[in-house]
């Protein structure tokens, strides 16, 4: 029989340390739904999603009960809509978002991602139409998430798209001003976007993917934090080893759930994304892990090194535990969704500049950060360009999910509620980057993109 200690440890992880499966995400290809009549295309999209994902939520709930492990979200990701809608004779892409929203509500999932465009090298007419529809689409739907990939290590950075996205983020915030600019919480600007990411708001089903696929995202910052409390004062080798062991266990559980979900839904298993994804709940924070390593508060000197160690150890521990690791895999640092980050930002210890440095070594980028509502679009674009440059040069995914909260100033707090939490409004540099952003064109790919 299993060791009593092991069994109780697992139960304690679930009960007290917020161990959970963060998401089961079904990726669905919508390439077969392209129609010249936009209404027929929307109908085809709705039909296909509701057919494929009919049992997704029920299956997730069954697995949750049988294994006794919470599965927080059930989600759907679809082919970037700009590719599907390109065949339709219409200028207005908002109805496609409405079709996704309706399908998400019918299937009962928490979010649907893929109102997206991939424009790292150039924009098609369809990409332009999609980006133009984003503010309206995010304001008029509840569950649709949008993402735009503006750069890659192979292609460089599309600065026209970067400029456009700065304006789009502003428009999305203004269009949802009554909800603190909530539309921007569902919009991610990527560099090196991955095609099998199960996490929102940046999930989409890449064109290189199968007809349908199950991707699972595991979480557990609280478990890592708890494990580190047992090795107070120990050298970093011990810290790394402890994190690796913990990540291994968490990922094994994710792998088990992924295989079970894949079998029951008769859908191929894609990847396990082993990301430490925090929530606003006490004891579920990535910032607190960094502080446990010896930092007085997250954001002080040493934070980047601590995060680098954490991110690497999580990957090393997880990679052997799953037959296929993918997605973003690492540690997330969304400010509004992490109780420790919120506290650090509110105290002034964690600034936008430090967060940018941290994104060089974590799995994604500037995430869920609120800035003053009067921040110019060009400044947002420049922030995006900085992040994209970090991603492009370091061959990693970076992203920007930033909220210029309408009517808010530095020191205010924006409430989003639920898993999205609340964000203290943080200062941006007051100096202009307008002439820089106005140049447009493309920043060439770095030397090391020429690997062939």
Partner 1 sequence: MKAIVTVIGKDRVGIIASVCGKLSQHNVNILDISQTILQDYFTMIMLVDTAKCELPFTELARQLEQAGKEQNLSIRIQREDIFNAMHRI
- 108 counts as binding partner 1 under rule CB under 8 A: no
- 2 counts as binding partner 1 under rule CB under 8 A: yes
Residue 212 CB, nearest approach to partner 1 (Å): 24
In the three-class reduction of DSSP (H, G, I as helix; E, B as strand; rest coil), residue 314 is classed as helix
Q: Which of 104, 253, 403, 425 binds partner 1 (CB under 8 A)?
A: 253
Q: How many Å apart are CA 58 and CA 166, to the nearest integer?
A: 39
Binding span for partner 1 by CB under 8 A among 5-13, 263-271, 332-340, 367-375: 5-13
SS3 percent helix, strand, coil of the chain, rounded to 5, is 45, 20, 35
Binding span for partner 1 by CB under 8 A among 38-46, 250-258, 376-384, 440-448: 250-258
- 245 counts as binding partner 1 under rule CB under 8 A: no
Binding span for partner 1 by CB under 8 A among 28-36, 39-47, 207-215, 246-254: 246-254
Q: How many Å apart are CA 299 and CA 310, to the nearest integer?
A: 15
Q: How many Å apart are CA 262 and CA 33, to the nearest integer?
A: 24
Closer residue to partner 1 (CB): 10 or 90:
10
Q: Which of 128, 249, 396, 401 binds partner 1 (CB under 8 A)?
A: 249
Q: How many Å apart are CA 39 and CA 202, to the nearest integer?
A: 26
- 4 counts as binding partner 1 under rule CB under 8 A: yes
Q: Spell out the alpha helix ranges (H) of 19-124.
A: 38-52, 56-67, 81-85, 94-107
79, 31 Cβ separation under 8 angstroms? yes
Question: How many residues line the site for partner 1 (CB under 8 A)?
Answer: 20
Closer residue to partner 1 (CB): 68 or 122:
68
Angle at which helix 125-140 crosses helix 94-107, to 10 degrees, equals 50
333, 359 Cβ separation under 8 angstroms? yes
Angle at which helix 221-229 crosses helix 236-264, to 10 degrees, equals 150
Q: Which of 10, 50, 300, 351 binds partner 1 (CB under 8 A)?
A: 10
Neighbours of 102 (CB within 10 A): 19
Binding span for partner 1 by CB under 8 A among 1-9, 130-138, 204-212, 264-272: 1-9
Closer residue to partner 1 (CB): 260 or 378:
260
**Taking CB under 8 A as the criterion, which residues in 36-95 touch partner 1?**
62, 65-69
Closer residue to partner 1 (CB): 255 or 285:
255
- 7 counts as binding partner 1 under rule CB under 8 A: yes
**Taking CB under 8 A as the criterion, which residues in 257-296 touch partner 1?**
none
In the three-class reduction of DSSP (H, G, I as helix; E, B as strand; rest coil), residue 100 is classed as helix
Closer residue to partner 1 (CB): 121 or 252:
252
Closer residue to partner 1 (CB): 61 or 125:
61
- Phi/psi class of residue 444: alpha, beta or left (left: φ > 0; alpha: ψ in -120 to 50)? beta
- 242 counts as binding partner 1 under rule CB under 8 A: no
Closer residue to partner 1 (CB): 1 or 435:
1
Neighbours of 329 (CB within 10 A): 26
* Residues in touch with partner 1 (CB under 8 A): 1-4, 6-8, 10-11, 62, 65-69, 249, 252-253, 255-256
């Amino acid at each position: 029989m299993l060791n009593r200690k092991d069994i109780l440890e697992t139960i304690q992880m679930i009960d007290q340390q917020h161990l959970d499966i963060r998401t089961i995400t079904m990726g669905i290809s919508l390439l077969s739904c392209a129609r010249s009549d936009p209404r027929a295309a929307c109908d085809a999209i709705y039909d296909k999603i509701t057919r494929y994902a009919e049992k997704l939520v029920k299956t997730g709930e069954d697995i949750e009960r049988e294994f006794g492990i919470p599965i927080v979200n059930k989600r759907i990701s679809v082919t970037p809509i700009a590719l599907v809608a390109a065949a339709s004779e219409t200028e207005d892409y908002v109805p496609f978002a409405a079709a996704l929203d309706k399908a998400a509500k019918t299937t009962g999932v928490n979010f649907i991602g893929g109102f997206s465009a991939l424009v790292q090298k150039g924009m098609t007419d369809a990409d332009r139409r999609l980006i133009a529809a984003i503010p309206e689409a995010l304001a008029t739907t509840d569950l649709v998430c949008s993402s735009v990939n503006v750069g890659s290590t192979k292609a460089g950075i599309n600065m026209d798209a970067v400029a456009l996205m700065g304006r789009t983020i502003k428009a999305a915030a203004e269009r949802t001003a009554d909800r603190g600019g909530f539309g921007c919480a569902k919009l991610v600007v990527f560099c090196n976007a991955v095609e099998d990411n199960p996490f929102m708001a940046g999930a989409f089903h890449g064109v290189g993917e199968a007809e349908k696929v199950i991707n699972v995202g595991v979480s557990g910052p609280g478990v890592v934090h708890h494990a580190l409390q047992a090795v107070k004062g120990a050298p970093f080798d011990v810290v790394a080893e402890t994190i690796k062991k913990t990540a291994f266990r968490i990922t094994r559980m994710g792998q088990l759930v992924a295989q079970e979900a894949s079998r029951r839904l008769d859908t191929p298993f894609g990847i396990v994304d082993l990301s430490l994804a925090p929530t606003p709940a006490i004891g579920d924070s990535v910032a607190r892990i960094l502080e446990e390593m010896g930092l007085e508060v997250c954001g002080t000197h040493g934070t980047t090194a601590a995060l680098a160690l954490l991110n690497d150890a999580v990957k090393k521990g997880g990679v052997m535990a799953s037959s296929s690791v993918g997605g973003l895999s690492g540690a997330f640092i969304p400010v509004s969704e992490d109780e420790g980050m919120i506290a650090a930002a509110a105290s002034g210890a964690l600034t936008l500049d430090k967060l940018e440095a941290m994104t060089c070594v974590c799995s994604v980028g500037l995430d869920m950060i609120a800035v003053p509502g009067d921040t110019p679009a060009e400044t947002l674009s420049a922030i995006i360009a900085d992040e994209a440059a970090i991603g492009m040069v370091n061959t990693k995914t970076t992203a920007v999910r930033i909220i210029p909260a309408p009517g808010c100033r530095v020191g205010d707090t924006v409430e989003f509620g639920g898993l999205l939490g609340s964000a203290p409004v943080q200062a941006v540099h007051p100096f202009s980057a307008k002439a820089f952003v106005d140049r447009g064109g493309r920043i060439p790919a770095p030397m090391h993109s020429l690997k062939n």
